[in-house]
Structure 1
Amino acid sequence: MPRTPHRPHPLRIRAARTTLCAFGAAALAVSLTACGSGSNNPFDDHQEKSSYDDGAAAKSDRKSVPRWLPDDATDIKYVMSTTGDDRIIKLTTPDGKFPKQCVKGEPQGKPRLKADWFPSDVAAKADTNCGTWSGARIDGAFYAWQDKDVAMKARG
């Protein structure tokens, strides 16, 4: 009598496929994690960071840079969210004063973005508004942020 080839049970085949898919998914997740920004914050990859020598160059390069930024401001660092209107900026003005369009006022919203150069206590020290931006002068520099909710509300 001829031998019939052995066929694995369908449940074993399904279990093997499931295990193989799980290992594949885990390997993919590990490889994608290794390629990212190195941060655990999923929003870090949705940011653009820039530095400029002066305000004129910053405004020329990016439409999202605030128009109240003086042309002669220096040492500009800027981070913007690519998924909303959250922004942070650091600048120094030659005369040490706030930009002309800025007025004393309570902070609007809160800074949602982070950078190693942006002090974590800016919101607590904020006493100035520049349109939809809020900020404070700390150690000779002006630090400001725009909260996406404030910006959206202002647009109506």
Structure 2
Amino acid sequence: MNRRPLVIAAATVGVLATAAFALPNLPPNPVTDTIDRKVYKETGKRFASAADAPRRAEAAFALPAWIPKDATDVRIRVRNTGEARLIRFTLGATPLDGPQCSAGTPKPVAAPALHAKWWPDSLRTEGRPECRDAQQYQVAVRGKRVYAWTDGTPSPGAGPRGGAAAPRTQG
């Protein structure tokens, strides 16, 4: 009996299984970025500080206005097919002020199903509403680290498409 096809099949399965476990844990590179864009339909970006992030509201990785300008280690994960996003940053000298939702009653914001290694699973119960941007965010603070997420729900009183700011598109 010829075992060569069996050995080739077993080696192929081994390589694919190893890749399935290893690829999500690799640092960002062209292969993982392509998988994220094509398979998961999402993209991530990292900035050394909030000042390094785009300022135009239409930019895919623009930060909400309520994030302090001296925030550092900013990470953003966005859904390419909608408004869902995750944001993580570290507070600088400027503290994060209290929640701002004075224009109406905030709606529940679902945690988007985005894939980010830096995102803790247990934040849902810690979130508070933040409505000073076109989209309403949920925000959780753990020490100096701040986590914010949105599913694209417009802020109360912001109008049908999120008020004055244009919707964010992938560019």
Q: Shorter-chain TM-score: what band?
A: 0.5 to 0.7
**TM-score normalised to the size of structure 2?**
0.56
Aligned to 1:49: 44
CA distance in 1, matches of 2:127, 2:67: 17
Q: Are the aligned partners of 1:107 and 1:134 in contact in 2 as well (CA < 8 Å)?
A: no
CA distance in 2, matches of 1:138, 1:115: 17
1:138 paired to 2:142? yes
- CA drift of 1:133 comes to 1.1
- CA drift of 1:96 comes to 6.5
Aligned to 1:63: 59
Match of 1:151 among 129, 149, 154: 154
Q: Are the aligned partners of 1:55 and 1:71 in contact in 2 as well (CA < 8 Å)?
A: yes
**TM-score normalised to the size of structure 1?**
0.60
Aligned to 1:95: 93
Q: Which runs of 5+ in 2 are unaligned?
A: 1-15, 21-30, 161-171
Describe how 1:30-49 pairs up with structure 2 within 5 A. Answer: 44-49=39-44
- CA drift of 1:94 comes to 1.1
Q: Which runs of 5+ in 1 are unaligned?
A: 1-29
Query: Comparing both chains, which one has the higher relative contact order based on Cα–Cα distances under 8 Å and sequence gaps of 6 or more?
Result: 2
Deviates more, 1:42-51 or 1:76-85: 42-51
- CA drift of 1:126 comes to 0.7
- CA drift of 1:73 comes to 0.8
Report the count of equivalent residues.
120
Give 1:85's aligned amino acid: E
Q: Are the aligned partners of 2:106 and 2:131 in contact in 1 as well (CA < 8 Å)?
A: no
SS of alignment partner, residue 121 of structure 2:
coil
Change (3 A) 1:107 1:136: farther
Deviates more, 1:133-142 or 1:102-111: 102-111
Question: Structure 1 vs Structure 2: percent identity of aligned residues?
Answer: 22
Aligned to 2:118: 117
SS of alignment partner, residue 154 of structure 2:
helix
Larger radius of gyration: 1
- CA drift of 1:45 comes to 3.2
